[in-house]
Every structure is written in structure tokens, then in C-alpha cells.
Amino acid sequence: MRPSGRNLSEMRSISIETNVTKHAEGSCLIKMGDTHVLCTATIEDRAPSFLKGSGLGWVTAEYGMLPRATNTRNRREAAAGKQSGRTQEIQRLIGRSLRAGIDRVALGERQIVVDCDVIQADGGTRCASITGGWVALRLAVNKLLKTGVCTSDPLIDHVAALSCGIYAGQPVCDLDYAEDSEAGTDGNFIMTGSGKLIEVQMSAEGATFSRDQMNELLDLAEAGVRELVAAQKAATE
Amino acid sequence: MRPSGRNLSEMRSISIETNVTKHAEGSCLIKMGDTHVLCTATIEDRAPSFLKGSGLGWVTAEYGMLPRATNTRNRREAAAGKQSGRTQEIQRLIGRSLRAGIDRVALGERQIVVDCDVIQADGGTRCASITGGWVALRLAVNKLLKTGVCTSDPLIDHVAALSCGIYAGQPVCDLDYAEDSEAGTDGNFIMTGSGKLIEVQMSAEGATFSRDQMNELLDLAEAGVRELVAAQKAATE
Amino acid sequence: MRPSGRNLSEMRSISIETNVTKHAEGSCLIKMGDTHVLCTATIEDRAPSFLKGSGLGWVTAEYGMLPRATNTRNRREAAAGKQSGRTQEIQRLIGRSLRAGIDRVALGERQIVVDCDVIQADGGTRCASITGGWVALRLAVNKLLKTGVCTSDPLIDHVAALSCGIYAGQPVCDLDYAEDSEAGTDGNFIMTGSGKLIEVQMSAEGATFSRDQMNELLDLAEAGVRELVAAQKAATE
Amino acid sequence: MRPSGRNLSEMRSISIETNVTKHAEGSCLIKMGDTHVLCTATIEDRAPSFLKGSGLGWVTAEYGMLPRATNTRNRREAAAGKQSGRTQEIQRLIGRSLRAGIDRVALGERQIVVDCDVIQADGGTRCASITGGWVALRLAVNKLLKTGVCTSDPLIDHVAALSCGIYAGQPVCDLDYAEDSEAGTDGNFIMTGSGKLIEVQMSAEGATFSRDQMNELLDLAEAGVRELVAAQKAATE
Amino acid sequence: MRPSGRNLSEMRSISIETNVTKHAEGSCLIKMGDTHVLCTATIEDRAPSFLKGSGLGWVTAEYGMLPRATNTRNRREAAAGKQSGRTQEIQRLIGRSLRAGIDRVALGERQIVVDCDVIQADGGTRCASITGGWVALRLAVNKLLKTGVCTSDPLIDHVAALSCGIYAGQPVCDLDYAEDSEAGTDGNFIMTGSGKLIEVQMSAEGATFSRDQMNELLDLAEAGVRELVAAQKAATE
Amino acid sequence: MRPSGRNLSEMRSISIETNVTKHAEGSCLIKMGDTHVLCTATIEDRAPSFLKGSGLGWVTAEYGMLPRATNTRNRREAAAGKQSGRTQEIQRLIGRSLRAGIDRVALGERQIVVDCDVIQADGGTRCASITGGWVALRLAVNKLLKTGVCTSDPLIDHVAALSCGIYAGQPVCDLDYAEDSEAGTDGNFIMTGSGKLIEVQMSAEGATFSRDQMNELLDLAEAGVRELVAAQKAATE
């Protein structure tokens, strides 16, 4: 029934290749099927000015998409002179989600910038960015621990994300673009390694959904995120 | 326990004054306690270009906040030269939510622009904008029906929104600013008059939440939205 | 002869409601007939950088118009990415006019920002902004006096403004939009409570005027401003 | 008494050199003492879109100042990414003033763009731009008449401008920068060749003025504009 | 003597992997040592408006660099709100160079957009972009030939580019970042497969160079470009 | 054969008028035939922030073109809201070229800004800007020497520039616009007074060129630059 032939609860193949660029303190290329996102983490010695003197650290994120990551070329935001509302919404979500896994006292007064750049898009780029962004963050934080800059681990839990939706009347897991563009209702579920929720965004463009449907999607998401966390562990341990 | 002395499930006082500006096709000033939003609906004869020839209508929204709507003055976005990511995120949400209550075929190939301008802010401005925006939309659509431009009602259901959150460990309804700035977890719940969900956004800045907490907030929201829909009816019927 | 039926020297009804927002140090909603402007005054502890160390204060103003304050919707300047030339011209005028009523030594090295936002427009918005802006300024300065931050009153005189023009060949007072859009010649007259001139801007789009006409308009303006100053006094004393 | 040693009613030396660039349809370099403005007029076959099908023409103006036209270098507006409020205010004034001298029916549905670029500034640049801009416009319109594109003269009168002010307590004519920066009150007076007023802008930064002072400045301006019109005639006839 | 231990005339290892994204009509990932650039070619049915009705095609290019492609993070241009002068200069060069290899009549009235995005930078990114951009262009044009849209080959020759410079007093080939940042004189040499020059840019920041040095660098570049063209052939034939 | 009737190696008439504005520390109006560029040099007491504490000075340049410097009016960059890629490329070139003639230690930790504004364009504006910019720089530096701010001369050599190209199959010197717009291959050659090369930019839009042609153009440029340097000397000594 699904365009890809997957079962309702079947994820796309997950691949996380680490240390893919020589400059970044942490990096990975995450592939969720045909969605490929390059994630890098940059450690900056200074926290944003609103934290000056607080002793607290910060994690922020930026998101971009190469012009031909998509089926038809999308205009380069740098040429357009601004980031779209969609881009800003996504990068705010990534940053907020990753901060939920951070002990900002243990991080100390510094900032980690996670850049998520979509090389190829096939749906679910924001979720892949969160899952991959956490891996880049993990690797960068490892450097802080190894060099003794941080003495206790500021990363208190895994953070991973998955999109699920109602496609052709059925709840399905890990939407690809063909499903996403047809789904009346879909949601992004960001969770921790211990199964707690960080953020839930469910939306029905031109439609509505029930609490039962919401719960079905949450069930799918919980199972899927467990797989994602396992992949994060395999890549970083 | 709540700063305002309200009970856990107690809403702020709701006031919806209609036809507050002489120019707009529909308008209201909605007050949720000290949060005041002026909502206007403008009918435009042309739909956006991506709908040309489709016979379908469109509803979109824009959101703004007067510089001194807040406790400390916030910089005027027109002077800053761009809308913030937050503003764009909010106005995309308002438009998406209102479209869920529209029969775009019945509306016909035209656009209604809903402007939501926050005159005074005390938390929950995006939810008040949706609830009040629907009233402005209702009044504008009434004109289309009265003049025979539309022959069947394009507004198929009420749309209203409420924010609830975990404050001081307790689920509370209709957060004001004092609560919102302290709440680890909060959510925006956008629903129809018939009790279906349109959008759920739950988020925990620097924290996590459980499915049980999520369900408690949903219960509060369902009850609160019923009150909001009753107020919409009282204002427009 | 006038579209509104007013006599040549008859003002629109004036209403000034004070303390209309809970956050601003001073605020009012001024109504000149169907022109409604919300004015707020914000006290900032720091003067602009060019005054650093001078001991002198500053008053500045910003002006905006809600998208549907007008008969047809005008594009939101924040969305357009810049303030129009007209907006900048108006807010520079408001700031310059209000500064004429200020003793900058008595104010001390701080800044007061007056925001004038047009809720509904029917001609004469810049003049209403000045008249209402002065009321907001008066109320904010009262707080500086009450708390002892200022020991002598920095507000040395009233500042009020009125537009008059040649409509259908006759000099008329307090132009509304129907008149303003037809008037070949019109002027904005900004004056003090003691009847001195602060700024005169007379302009004839595609036409010319004589010194006699100029003097007739000045006579009308002097009488009108006396009424405005009386309304300011009634609202603030 | 005046820094330049001029009498109270004495203008600076006026020089208008025509046809100074080989490309423009009309051009001049106007010098009012040390204020030098290069004015060009460009004829465009199309009127702005709001005039489409009206048969009416349009005259518009743009104003700029070279970075080192002033005593200290001012930032290039192209590098800053926008025109300042001052620049927009000035170029709107120039266009409005020149349109007062135009018969838009006789001009026909086309546009003339007058560019005024300040090469060296010593006060009064906006007035010099208007006076010189009219000369460039006259020369460009002459081409339209010579080639038969226009059959009757669209230029119905001269337009010239002068700034006068109260300097050291005395009304003085044609302010230079040393005077302008000290004058509490000054005005720009834009008039026709036949002595009618087009625009009057009087302003007192941090001060006020009386109607008597206003009339004294008007008297000075009327005399001065007669000299400017004579210079325009000498340059173009 | 060279930081990398290479001989004076030794290139870095060249790798060109083709068809690396599923969406673009042509694509490759070119690696010149540690400089990695993703190049995609997009076929657009319409030529730019200045070519409307001419029957001629166009090739243009855009260039970007991921924020952490460099040793320290560089600010995302989309967030900065504009492309830097450097970026614009580079993308204009890439487009101009590739057009030298195109028969615009054979291409027909359409446009090919070549996007070059630097994934990892170690000097010579603009040259790698040209060499890799040509491969993406070749693959896209192959599709136009295969589908019969073009009946004769619009690609008339290879285009490849190499940077050479004077490092530590010696002419060296294919500068990496360590060399580029120290070289007083360097040049970018863009050539065809048949050995003709398309563009030469030699520059000495804070230094000068002689014609003899220029000729030595040209000799190095000619040899190097032959290797690059061979790699292009190996990748596309 | 040349549109102007010049011989292949014949330059246009060169005129350099110095001290043309009263405000700038150095200035000239350079005319290469009908190309007229106003160059000013501004001394700033502070170097750019990246040089703070280094003891080194900086020279930078900005370039602009008046809207009607060209045959058809080009849009004012300040109104467009940004400098074009072409403008940025040119001003970067001017700055880089002039820095090659500067001893930055002798200049000391200050900045000189050279503004080059094209009053009238007929080809070769960037080269004229460099040649004239050097004259403005020379005059400004003379002031630093005269006042003892600099004790040894920071200007170590002349810098001048010329464009040459292949026109109608022949190498020609000092291209004017008629030639430049037709030439398949052209180059900008920036050289010192002692005949060393600073920058060479050769380009063939839609064509290629050989090393022999390159050498012929270099020969022409060397001879031409000698004439330019002689004119610089005549103007400044």
C-alpha cells in the first residue's frame, strides 16, 4: 500500500556515517532512505551575550537545503536574501530539541552550533536533522570531555525524531516525500533515549484528526525512535 | 497556586467585541484576560497565483505585535527590516489552522487575509489570534453570503485554540505570561467546534514530558475550547 | 459643502482615552473622528550613543499603520522588509515636533520612545499622532517626576498638530480622508500650547497656492490647535 | 555677522552649467556657492504602472550624495543596503515640486526621471537639486518638443527653491552649512516663476517661531527665488 | 618544501564521482585532495528574460560554502541576508567560464543552472567548482541529447581550472589552503580541453610579480589542466 | 578600423584634475576620453578592527556609478537595496590594487578609503578608478607627511591600470565602450610605476584566447601604463 512497499510500521534504512569532514569538532552524514543530511557541530568558546556571566552553555542549530536537494530546484536562500519562514521554524525546532538533552551547567559558558544541511531530500529532513544533529553534538562533546574542558558529561540523554502520519487512511511510520505530500495528518515526534517526549507537532493541513489517531501515531513513533537511538549508539560508541 | 489565583482548569475572562474597525470586511477585538488582539479579515478578489484557474480559495494570516504590547519594548519589525522567525512561525500556524475550517471549493477562487495584531500581550497571543481570527473570518464570510458571492457557506466549522501547560508541577489551562515564562512544558491545542484536533504543538524547553501529562493537557484543552467556541457563537450569532 | 457636513472651521470630535495599555509608562488612544491612533511612551534608561556623556535627553518616535487601518489593505511593512519613505518621513516629523516641547537638560540622559500606531485611518494620522503622542509623553514624564528621577518638569509646553487645506476652493480645518484626497493644497501645522509654531508643512500636489491662502490656513490651524490643547489638558490634568 | 560675510538677504553666487554629460537627455551642474549638484533628466517611454492607459505623464526624482561630498565621509547608501529616511524625504520633495510645474496631459504617458547627485555639499542641497533639476527637466522637454513627441510644452512654469532661516536672531537668505547647523529655525520655500508657492517647510529643531518670523523668511525667499529663476532662464534660453 | 610534501608541479589526488544525487539532471562530487565540492546541473525550460525569442541558451552558476566547510565556522550567507562579494565574484566566474564551452545556438532557448556547493574546503574551491561543474553540465547535456531535445552537442569543449602560485619563492601547482594563505602571488587559470585560455586571473596581495613568473605559472597550469581534462573524460565517458 | 579612429596602440586623451572637492584629504577628476571618474581619498584615524593593535594600516575602496553615467539609465544601487556583484568585484579589485603600492607599516594603524564614483562612463571605468584613485591616495598621503603623522612615505610606487583587448581580430589598447562591448577577449592590467604586474585579469566571454594574444596585450598594456604613470606624475608633482 505504501509507495515504497514498506509495511505500516517499517522505517527506511538508517545509515549514520561519522567524522565526514575534517574541520568540524563533530560531524556525520545521516541517511534515512533517500533523505541525506550533513550535520556538523562547532564548539565556540563564547556563549551568546544573553548568557554572559551565567555559567550556562547553549546549543543552537541552523538548517539549510542545497538548491537541488529537491526534485525541482529551489531558490538558494542566500541569493533570495533571507531564510524562509519554513527554514527558521525548522532550525528553531532543532535547537530547542537538542537543548532538551543538554545539562547546560555541565556544558559551561560556551556554545555549540549544529549545522544541518540537506544534501538530498525525500521527506523527513527536520527529523533526520535532529537525529543526526545529536550524533554530531555527541562527537563534539566527546572532545570537550577528552580534553578536560568539561569534567562531567553535558549530554544527559539521546534525542531523536521521527515523522509519522495518516496515509491513505492508515497510520504509517517514517513518511517519505511521496507519503508526506499526500498525508492529511502528520506529526513530528521528538523524544529522548529514555522514551520521554520533548516535542510533539501534529498538524492536519485542510483536515482534522482524533485523539485515537494521535495515539496510534505516538505508538509508531515510540517504536521508531527506539530504532533511531540504537543507530545513534552504534555510530558513536 | 497560580499567580492569578485561578483554579487549575479556569480560563481567563473572554471578551470578543465585533466590528471594531469601519474598513475591514470582518473584525473583532478579542481579550483573553490582559491579552488583547485586534483581528481583521480582508476579502481579496484574487487567489494567490499558485491557485490560478483551480477554482479553490485560500485563507492566509499575518501576525504582528505593537512595540509596547509587552512589558519591555520590543523592536518594531518594520524597522528591523524583517519579521522574526517567531512571527513567521506564528502566522503560518494561524493560517494553517483557519484553513482547516474552510471549504475551499465553496469559498471560490478568492483569498481572505486575516491580520492579527497584538495590542497588549499577557501570554497566549497566538491562540487568541486563532480564536479571534476565526470570528473576523466568520463576519467576512457572512458578507460573501449576504451579497450572494458565495452560495453555500465556506466556513464548515469553528476553529479555536488554547494553550495549556505544566506549571509548578500541575497541569493548568490558558497560561498567562507569568505561567508561560515558568512552565517547563506547554502546548498549543487548535481544535474545531466539533472537538476534532487540527494541530497540537507540545514543547518542553530544557525538559521532557510523558504521554500521561500530554493527555491531561489535552483534557484541559478540550474543555477550554468548548468555552471559546461558545464565546465565538455568542459574538457572531 | 464638506463631505461630512462640517462647517469650514469645524473640527471632528476629539476623544483622548488615557492609560489604555498596562505595560507602557504612558499611553492613550486618540480619536479624531474616525482616525484612531494608539500612542505609547516608553522610558529607556539610556540615551542614544551620540549623546553619551552629554547629560542631555532625547525623544524619538516611531509610526506604523495596521494593514487594514485603511479602506483597502496596505501591505505590512514588516513583511515588505522596510519602512516606506512616507512612514519614515512621518516618524521623523513626530519626533522632531515632540522634541520642541522638551527641556532636554531637565529630562537628563535618557530616551523616551513614542510609538504611534494607527488602528483606523481617516486622514490626519500624522497630526493625531503628534497630539496623542504628546499625551503619552506627558503621562510618562509624570512618572519620572513622581518617582523623583526628574526634579524639574522636562515638558515645557504642549505640542499639538492639525491639518488644514483648500477643499473645493475653500479653506477648511481638520481634513478627513475624503477631503485630503481631493485637496490641491494642504498643510500640517504643529504648534505649542502658547501658540508658537514648531513646524509648518504646506504642499500642493500638482498645484500652487498664494500667501493669502497660507495665512487663511494658519488662522484656522491656530484656532483648532487651541481646541486640541484643551483636550490634552482635560485628558491629563 | 554671517560666517561668509554675506548681507542678510545676499544669495551665494549661482552657476548653472548645462549639458555636462553626454548621455542624459537633459543635464546641468548647479553650484550655489560650495554646494554642487549634478542633475540629469532621463526620458522613459513608459509611465509608471499606476498611470497605464491614463494618457498622463509623470515626473519623479532620486537624490544621492557622494560619500565624501561632506566634511566627514558619510556611509555610501548602496553599501548600507538602503536609502536613509532623509534621502527618501528629499527625493519625494524634489519629485513633488517638479510635478507642480508640469502639464501631465501635454507630457503624455511617459516618465521623466530627474537624478540629483550631490558632488559637494555646503548646505541647501535639496533646494539646489530642485532648481537644477528643473533645468535638466527643461532641457529634456526641449528634446521632446524638437522631435515632435510633444506638440505643446508640458513645462508650464519655472520651479525653484531656496532655504532661509533665523541665524543669530536674524532672518537670512540661502543658508550655507555653517548657518544651517546653527539655525534654530529654517525653511525650504519652493515657488514657481510667477511667484506662487508650491511647498513650504518650516521647522524649528528644539525651538519655535512666530508668524512674523515666518513672513520675514517668506519675503526673503520670494526675492531669492526671483534671482534663481533668472539664472534658470539665462542657462536655458 | 611544500606543506603537503608534493613536488612543485604535483597536483593533489583528483576524484570525480558522478550521479551523486537522485534529483539533478547532472551531478558529481569532485575532490581535489581535501577540497570537496558537490556540483549539480539543473535544466530549466526557459532562458532568462533577456534572451526571450533569441533562440539562444544560457548557462549560469551559483556557489555556496557550508558553514563548517572551513577550519573555523563561517557565517551562513542565508542568515546574513546576502551573498558576500567574494561569493558573487566566484559564481560569476564559474558561469562565465562554463559558457565558453557552450554552443548557445545548439543548446536552444533554455537555461542550465550549475550549483557548486563546497562541502569541505582546502583551497582552490573556485577552480574545483569549474572543473566539477563542467562534469555536471556534461551529464545534463547528455540527457538533452539522449531525449532528442538537442540534436547536436551544445558542449563544444572541456572547461577546467587550476590555481597556481608563487609559494616560498617557487612556482607551485594546485595550491592548497596552507599554500594559498601564504602565497604572495597566485592565479586562477581556466582553459579548454584543446589548451586555449578562457580566463586568467593573477593577483598579488601586497606584492607584485613579473612576466617571467607569470609564464612559469602558465606552464604549470597548462600541464595541470591536461590532467584535469583527463579526469573529466574518465568520469563521463 | 577602431570606432574612434585611434591607432591600435593609441590611448584616449588623459586628463587628471586634482583637488576638485574642498572636503576630501585627496581628490581628482580623471578623464580617459569620455570616461570621467571622481576619486576622493578619506583618512580615517582607525584601522579596521581585524588590524587592531597590529600597527599596520589599510587602504580600501568603494565604487559607484551615477544612474545616468551610462547611455541608458541604470538603477541606483541605494534604491535597489544592494550593490551588484559587478560593483563589489570592482571595488575589491581597486582596493587590492592600491594596497600593492602601500607600505602598511609606514602608513601606521589608520585607514584610507578611496571612493571612485563614475560621473560619465565610456568603458574602462575600473581602470580609470585605479589610476585616479592612486592620485587621490597620493594627495592624501602627502597631507600625512606634511603634518608629520607619517614620517616615511607609505606610498612605495605608482599603481595604474589599463584595459586592452582583441577587437575585430586585432590587439588594441585602452578599450572604449564601443570596443569593449564587441571584444571577444579583453583584459585589465594593473601595474606599478616600475613596470611590475599587480593583477592581470583576462577574460573571453563566449570565446578563448592564446598565450600569444595574451602577450600582445601585455605589451600594449606595459606601454600604456607608462603613459598613465607619467600623467600621474604630472598631476601630483
Query: In the prediction, which pLDDT does B205 show?
Result: 78
Q: Which member of B102, B198, B207 has the closest CB to residue A204?
A: B198
Residue D43 above 80 pLDDT?
yes
Instruction: Please enumerate, as own/partner, the contacts of B142-147 that have beta carbons within 8 Å and a separation of 24 or more.
Output: B142/B26, B142/B236, B143/B25, B143/B26, B143/B43, B144/B43, B144/B107
Q: With helix as H, strand as E and coil as C, how does F184-210 read?
A: CEEEEEEEECCCCEEEEEEEECCCCEC
Residue C207 above 90 pLDDT?
no
Query: In the prediction, which pLDDT does B29 show?
Result: 98
Q: Is A27 part of the contact surface with chain E (CB cutoff 8 Å)?
A: yes
For residue D155, give every residue at least 6 positions away whose Cβ sits within 8 Å of its Cβ, in sequence order, or none. Answer: D101, D102, D103, D137, D138, D141
For the stretch D53-98, pLDDT in tens is 999 999 999 999 999 999 999 999 999 988 999 999 999 999 999 9
d(C-alpha C64, C-alpha C66), whole Å: 7
Decide: helix, strand or coil at residue C44: strand
Instruction: State how far the alpha carbon of C62 is from the alpha carbons of B36, C83, C98, C112, in Å.
Output: 21, 10, 12, 11
For the stretch A209-218, pLDDT in tens is 999 999 999 9
Q: Which of B19, B25, B73 is the best mutation test for C, with the most CBs of C within 10 A?
A: B73
Cα R_g (chain D), whole angstroms? 18
Task: Say if residues C232 and C137 touch (Cβ distance below 8 Å).
Answer: no
Q: How confident is the model at residue C183 (pLDDT cuts 50, 70, 90)?
A: confident
D204 contacts C200? CB cut-off 8 A = no
Provide the edge-to-edge strand list for the sheet that holds E58-65: E14-18, E26-32, E35-44, E111-120, E58-65
For the stretch F37-51, pLDDT in tens is 999 999 999 999 999
Q: Residue E128: which of E31, E52, E21 has the closest Cα?
A: E31
Crossing angle of the two packed helices E85-99 and E125-146, in degrees rounded to 10: 40
Q: Residue D51: which of D126, D93, D102 has the closest Cα?
A: D102
Crossing angle of the two packed helices F211-236 and F125-146, in degrees rounded to 10: 40
Q: Counting Cβ atoms within 10 Å, is residue F75 exposed (0-12), middle (13-18) or buried (19+)?
A: exposed
For the stretch B189-230, pLDDT in tens is 999 999 999 999 999 877 899 999 999 999 999 999 999 999
| C chain contacts of residue B74, beta-carbon cutoff 8 Å | none
For the stretch B75-106, pLDDT in tens is 999 999 889 999 999 999 999 999 999 999 99
Q: How far apart are the first and last CA of chain D?
A: 37
d(C-alpha A225, C-alpha B22), whole Å: 53
d(C-alpha D195, C-alpha D221), whole Å: 10
Instruction: State how far the alpha carbon of B99 is from the alpha carbons of B102, B130, D130, in Å.
Output: 5, 11, 52
DSSP B111-143: EEEEEEEEEE-SS-HHHHHHHHHHHHHHHHHHH
D117 contacts F73? CB cut-off 8 A = no
Q: Report the alpha-carbon angle B58-B61-B65, nearest 5.
A: 175
Q: What is the dihedral of CA F9, F15, F18, F20, to 10 degrees?
A: -130
| D chain contacts of residue F62, beta-carbon cutoff 8 Å | 67, 76, 79
Kindly report the backbone phi and psi dihedral angles of residue B63, in degrees, each rounded to the nearest multiple of 5, phi listed first: -130, 140
For residue B49, give every residue at least 6 positions away whose Cβ sits within 8 Å of its Cβ, in sequence order, or none. Answer: none
β strands within C45-88, DSSP E: 58-65
d(C-alpha C4, C-alpha C20), whole Å: 28
Query: In the prediction, which pLDDT does B160 show?
Result: 98
Q: What is the dihedral of CA E116, E120, E121, E124, to 10 degrees?
A: -50
d(C-alpha C172, C-alpha C178), whole Å: 12
Q: What is the dihedral of CA E123, E127, E129, E133, to 10 degrees?
A: -160
Rounded percentage of chain F residues whose pLDDT exceeds 70: 100
Q: Distance (Å) from the C-alpha of residue E84 to the closest C-alpha of chain A? A: 9
Kindly report the backbone phi and psi dihedral angles of residue D82, in degrees, each rounded to the nearest multiple of 5, phi listed first: -165, 160
Instruction: State how far the alpha carbon of C134 is from the alpha carbons of C30, C115, C128, C201, in Å.
Output: 11, 11, 10, 19
d(C-alpha A133, C-alpha C208), whole Å: 67
DSSP F100-137: TTB-HHHH-S-EEEEEEEEEE-SS-HHHHHHHHHHHHH
Q: Which of F103, F208, F212 is the best mutation test for E, with the most CBs of E within 10 A?
A: F208
d(C-alpha C68, C-alpha B91), whole Å: 16
Task: Say if residues B123 and B163 touch (Cβ distance below 8 Å).
Answer: yes
F196 contacts E208? CB cut-off 8 A = yes
Q: Which member of F62, F64, F68 has the closest CB to residue D23?
A: F68
Interface of A with E in 79-118 (CB under 8 A): 79-83, 87, 113, 115, 117
For the stretch F107-166, pLDDT in tens is 999 999 999 999 999 999 999 999 999 999 999 999 999 999 999 999 999 999 999 999
d(C-alpha A60, C-alpha A50), whole Å: 13
Cell of D196: 506662487
Q: Which residue has the cell 611544500?
A: E2
Q: Counting Cβ atoms within 10 Å, is residue B10 exposed (0-12), middle (13-18) or buried (19+)?
A: middle
Across chain E, mean pLDDT equals 96
For the stretch A30-50, pLDDT in tens is 999 999 999 999 999 999 999
Q: Residue C92: which of B77, D86, D83 has the closest Cα?
A: D86
Q: Which member of F44, F81, F120 has the closest CB to residue D21?
A: F120
Query: In the prediction, which pLDDT does F205 show?
Result: 78
d(C-alpha A203, C-alpha B225), whole Å: 17
For the stretch C36-65, pLDDT in tens is 999 999 999 999 999 999 999 999 999 999
Q: Residue F129: which of F12, F32, F237, F226 has the closest Cα?
A: F32
Q: Which member of A88, A204, A210 has the closest CB to residue B89?
A: A88
Q: Residue D184: which of C157, C200, C100 has the closest Cα?
A: C100
Q: Report the alpha-carbon angle C160-C162-C163, nearest 5.
A: 155
Q: Residue A83: which of B37, C180, F96, E82 has the closest Cα?
A: E82
For residue C80, give every residue at least 6 positions away whose Cβ sits within 8 Å of its Cβ, in sequence order, or none. Answer: B78
Query: In the prediction, which pLDDT does C73 show?
Result: 97
Q: Which residue has the cell 519625494?
A: D92
Q: Are strands A159-167 and A170-173 parallel, antiparallel or unpaired?
A: antiparallel
For the stretch A90-130, pLDDT in tens is 999 999 999 999 999 999 999 999 999 999 999 999 999 99
Residue E156 above 90 pLDDT?
yes
d(C-alpha B61, C-alpha A208), whole Å: 19
The H or E element containing residue D96 is: helix D85-99
CB contacts < 8 A (A, B): 96
Cell of F72: 541608458
For the stretch E1-13, pLDDT in tens is 899 999 999 999 9
The H or E element containing residue E112 is: strand E111-120
B62 contacts C79? CB cut-off 8 A = yes
d(C-alpha B189, C-alpha B198), whole Å: 8
Q: Which amino acid is at F205?
A: E
Residue B182 CB: number of other CB atoms within 10 A? 14
Q: With helix as H, strand as E and coil as C, how does chain A read?
A: CCCCCCCCCCCCCEEEEECCCCCCCEEEEEEECCEEEEEEEEEECCCCHHHCCCCCCEEEEEEEECCCCCCCCCCCHHHHCCCCHHHHHHHHHHHHHHHCCECHHHHCCCEEEEEEEEEECCCCHHHHHHHHHHHHHHHHHHHHHHCCCCCCCCECCCEEEEEEEEECCEEEECCCHHHHCCCCEEEEEEEECCCCEEEEEEEECCCCECHHHHHHHHHHHHHHHHHHHHHHHHHHC
For D82, nearest residue in chain F (alpha carbons): F81
Residue E20 above 90 pLDDT?
yes
Average pLDDT over residues E89-98: 96
User: How many residues can be counted in chain F?
Assistant: 237
Cell of B34: 490582559
Q: Which member of E22, E78, E115 has the closest CB to residue A77?
A: E78
| D chain contacts of residue F38, beta-carbon cutoff 8 Å | 66, 119
